[in-house]
Structure 1
Amino acid sequence: MSRWSTISPIPPAGDLRTLSWATLTNTLGSGLWLAGSALYLTRGVGLSAPAVGVALTVGALVGLTASLPFGRLADRYDPRTLRAALQITQAAVAAAYLLVGSVTTLIVVAVLDALLTAGNLAVRAALVAVVAGPRDRVTAFATLRAVANLGIGVGAAAAGVALTVDTLLAYQFLVIGNASTYAISALLVLRLPRTSRPSTLTTPRRSLLGPALRDLPFLAVSTASAVLTLHHVVLTLIIPLWVVSHTSAPAGVVSAILVTNTVLTVLLAVRLSRAVDTATTAARTVRRAGLVLAVAMLLYATSGHLPAVAATALLLLTTVVYTIGDLWHSVSGARLAYDLADPDAIGEYQGVDQLLSGTVRAAGPALLTLLILTGGVAGWAATAALLAVAGLLTPRIAAWALRTRRPAAPASASRRC
């Protein structure tokens, strides 16, 4: 039992544990849907793959617009209640995929789904800040990331049953399972205590251009961090295509790569977050992350010139290197997004940060497919250079941002659940 407690990402009893169980439940459904959605919509519903791709892209792009307004709502109202309400609504929208029978209905459902997902991420960031407090919110963020990876991994594995059966009914069970986890997660979130909001936050803002959008230093730091999020597209989209089309490694190594990343994230996310305790340390760690991720890109490129066994070994070793860079960037980016935010507008700042990273991720598939799958080694090198430059610039930009911050409020004034 004690050995399990040392490797389990679930924290000790308390509000963070409650939020962790809610996250684990929710991401079990996410894993079901991520693994089975493409086959459900094509083999089950009968839509073409290009049509599905277009519909989901439209949904993702429209969904980006929800980050900022929902972040602002989380500053004015109880983020616990707001998140629970969003998840109940998402349960209904997730179930609506059962009604999809055409590209038009798919676009409608995908847009609603993406809007709620983007809004939920911004509200979750605000809720994490409230639950954990200023000192522990980055560790809490890392804990929830580890829990989420565990949930997605288990959910994706469970979806394998439906994928093996390969019938419309089996795929529909995945849809129902995903919708159910949203509802259960909402009930768990409601077990958290309500948040008391200072009266200053209930005053309506007179300007549509809130403080986060006027904060140029913060925008610069978040943009640099957002550029680094391109590495997520590399892992989830580019590597599977690269393995099957440009290397001699067996296709099965793609699953091994994703499992390696998931396991290391569960084991290391919280440990690595503990060293990132200030914005200055975070900026330096982002620089290190950019350089490590750049090295990983060059190593992935090399795999295309090796025999099968050597290519497989290099791909798995590189994934270890990649995951270290990924985790350094994740925890450091979270620290910067929280510590550089106006304490009275945490939700809005997280919404802007989510908007910038979401925009890069939306553009990433087209950009990296062109660069890497068409350009080969030169494309990998260009991607590595982009990640390295973004990392190297971050400490200087963050120092500028820190010089413009207002003095922090006394610890006694921090908001807690």
Structure 2
Amino acid sequence: MGRVSPVPPPGPLRTLAYATLVNTVGAGLWLAGGALYLTRDVGLSAPSVGAGLTVAGLVGLSASVPLGGLADRWDPRTLRAVLQVGQAVAALAYLLVGSFPAFLAVAVPEALLAAGNLAVRAALVAAVGGPDGRVHAFATLRAVANLGITAGTALAGIALAVDTHRAYQVLVVGNAATYLLSAALLLRLPPQAAAGGTRPAPGAETTPGPRATAGTRRTPGTLRRGGPLRDRRFLAVSGTSAVLSTHVTVLVLVVPLWTVDRAGAPPPAVSAVLLVNTVLTVLLAVRLSRGAERAAPAARKLRRAGLVLAAATPLYAVTGILPVLPAIVLLLVATAVWTVGDLWHSAAGAGLAYDLAPPGAIGAYQGADGLLAGLAQALGRGLLTLLVLSGGPAGWLVLGGVFAAAGLAAPALARRAIANRQAPETRPAGVPG
């Protein structure tokens, strides 16, 4: 079982994995039951819920960089625990929602906390994993999160089957409780040093100027003035990764609609497709993350991810013209291929965002990376649905071309970003570091 289970050996990463598992059980509860609670129990219309969540999600992205930057100056463990307590309060506030304005008043702060917490989580993972283990830690937590969401979704099914006011209230309270329990588990970690807490040696020059000569030694990674949002070469790499990150939207939104409407498969086939993705993620996430700790190999893995995602699109396209049984089989095969590209992208994107960030600004740079990915996925919901469901097989092929182009561009963009990295400190030659 040790070879199959994504739970790591005893230590800080295992504690972080347990906190993630508990937190994502709550995420699964809310993902499966939140929309039905708001429509069937609260009485909001489905379009208003969708519009409110879209607005809240877009506003929430604005917290990514500021809270990520805060994690560079404060202990990310404590900061994340505080944010999760805030998320618990926001989750409980859904019990008070009775109108659309009240829904927005809860959804917007919750989205701000959630988006900021993702950047803080990335800084905490970097602190726990260290430079050589953070991508491995990221992949481990990805596998654990899939287990948690699956368990939460199954538990939500009980409340949805009962379909009473009390059952929905229990679902909301259960979601809030997972935030508090996860925060308590996080506090069992030792305090983590903030990424920006390190200082150069006394007398060291922290910002190399034009007079630096060959008699100085430089270490890559100075924070650019204006932060990550003015680091154009980093944003180019992160933007490429963000385009590929829309594979999430394709899998959870476009593929289910295509499966039922265009491939003609029965609705239970959607569960089978998503189950393939979940099982493969749990089994392969850590293994496929290897070799992505540094920017150059991570960029090559990102190229591979784009090409594999592109290779899956013709398989999905063909299911629209096959009989139902062969279409279902090919949907499962296509999803297996898609998942490999998904996992390579996840590891490569994390490796690039970590390694291209200055050592003292990991949280801020992760926040910028999350901001671009969030924008891409928000815009992708409408654009990708229109492209594939209206364009049919040709739409799939266009999408494959976009993914292939993004993947192929990644290594060159990463080389430019690596070449542009500056030095955080300069020492006279021969002076020990």
TM-score scaled by length of structure 1: 0.94
Q: Is 1:226 aligned to 2:242, yes or no?
A: yes
* Structure 2 counterpart SS, 1:341: coil
Contact 2:124 2:192 in 1 (8 A): no
1:280 match: 296
Please list the CA deviations of residues 7-60 of structure 1 after superposition, one character each: whole Å capped at 9, or x if unmatched.
111100100001000000000000011011111111111111111100110110
Q: Is 1:163 aligned to 2:163, yes or no?
A: no
Please list the CA deviations of residues 307-347 of structure 1 after superposition, one character each: whole Å capped at 9, or x if unmatched.
11001000011110000000000000100000010001111
Q: Is 1:297 aligned to 2:294, yes or no?
A: no
Give the letter for the 1:327 counterpart.
Answer: L
CA distance in 2, matches of 1:303, 1:228: 22
Give the letter for the 1:233 counterpart.
Answer: T
Give the letter for the 2:348 counterpart.
Answer: S
Give the letter for the 1:86 counterpart.
Answer: L
Greater shift, 77-86 or 295-304, is seen at 295-304
- Offset at residue 208 of structure 1 (A): 11
Match runs of 1:71-90 below 5 Å:
71-90=68-87
2:214 match: none
Give the letter for the 1:44 counterpart.
Answer: D
1:11 match: 8
* Structure 2 counterpart SS, 1:196: coil
- Which of 40, 57, 60 is the matching residue for 1:63? 60
CA distance in 2, matches of 1:343, 1:336: 13
1:105 match: 102
Give the letter for the 1:21 counterpart.
Answer: Y
- Which of 172, 177, 183 is the matching residue for 1:180? 177
- Which of 350, 354, 363 is the matching residue for 1:338? 354
- Offset at residue 200 of structure 1 (A): 4.5
Contact 2:76 2:120 in 1 (8 A): yes
- Offset at residue 213 of structure 1 (A): 1.8
1:217 match: 233
- Offset at residue 199 of structure 1 (A): 5.4
CA distance in 2, matches of 1:39, 1:97: 13
- Offset at residue 276 of structure 1 (A): 2.5
Q: Is 1:268 aligned to 2:284, yes or no?
A: yes
Q: Is 1:371 aligned to 2:387, yes or no?
A: yes
CA distance in 2, matches of 1:49, 1:211: 39
- Which of 131, 155, 162 is the matching residue for 2:128? 131
* Structure 1 counterpart SS, 2:178: helix
CA distance in 2, matches of 1:196, 1:61: 31
Please list the CA deviations of residues 274-310 of structure 1 after superposition, one character each: whole Å capped at 9, or x if unmatched.
2324321111111111011011122111111111100
- Offset at residue 214 of structure 1 (A): 2.2
Q: Is 1:34 aligned to 2:50, yes or no?
A: no
Please list the CA deviations of residues 168-207 of structure 1 after superposition, one character each: whole Å capped at 9, or x if unmatched.
2212211111100000000000111112342549xxxxx9
Contact 1:70 1:122 in 2 (8 A): yes
Contact 1:145 1:269 in 2 (8 A): yes
Structure 2 residue runs of 5 or longer lacking an equivalent are: 201-222, 426-433
Q: Percent identity?
A: 61
CA distance in 1, matches of 2:192, 2:88: 24
* Structure 2 counterpart SS, 1:38: helix
- Which of 400, 408, 411 is the matching residue for 2:416? 400
CA spacing shift, 1:208–1:283, aligned 2, 3 Å: closer
- Which of 237, 240, 247 is the matching residue for 2:263? 247
Structure 1 residue runs of 5 or longer lacking an equivalent are: 202-206, 410-417
- Which of 142, 145, 161 is the matching residue for 1:145? 142
1:92 match: 89
Give the letter for the 1:385 counterpart.
Answer: G
TM-score scaled by length of structure 2: 0.90
CA RMSD across the alignment: 1.7
- Which of 344, 350, 353 is the matching residue for 2:369? 353
CA distance in 2, matches of 1:76, 1:297: 43
2:251 match: 235
Greater shift, 273-282 or 89-98, is seen at 273-282
Contact 2:134 2:293 in 1 (8 A): no
* Structure 2 counterpart SS, 1:46: coil
- Offset at residue 108 of structure 1 (A): 1.4
1:195 match: 192
Give the letter for the 1:324 counterpart.
Answer: V
CA distance in 2, matches of 1:57, 1:380: 25
Give the letter for the 2:81 counterpart.
Answer: A
CA distance in 1, matches of 2:26, 2:424: 39
* Structure 2 counterpart SS, 1:274: coil
Contact 1:249 1:307 in 2 (8 A): no
CA distance in 1, matches of 2:352, 2:267: 38
CA distance in 2, matches of 1:255, 1:210: 45
**Which structure shows the higher helix fraction?**
1
* Structure 2 counterpart SS, 1:6: coil
CA distance in 1, matches of 2:397, 2:168: 40
Contact 2:88 2:176 in 1 (8 A): yes
Contact 1:98 1:172 in 2 (8 A): yes
CA distance in 1, matches of 2:276, 2:111: 28
Give the letter for the 2:244 counterpart.
Answer: L
1:321 match: 337
* Structure 2 counterpart SS, 1:106: helix
- Offset at residue 109 of structure 1 (A): 1.0
Give the letter for the 2:361 counterpart.
Answer: A
CA distance in 2, matches of 1:317, 1:408: 48
User: Which ranges of 4 or more aligned residues in structure 1 deviate by more than 2 Å?
Assistant: 195-201, 207-211, 275-278, 406-409
Give the letter for the 1:392 counterpart.
Answer: L
Instruction: Tell me which structure has the larger Cα radius of gyration.
Output: 2
Figure out how many residues of one structure are paired with residues of the other and give that number: 402
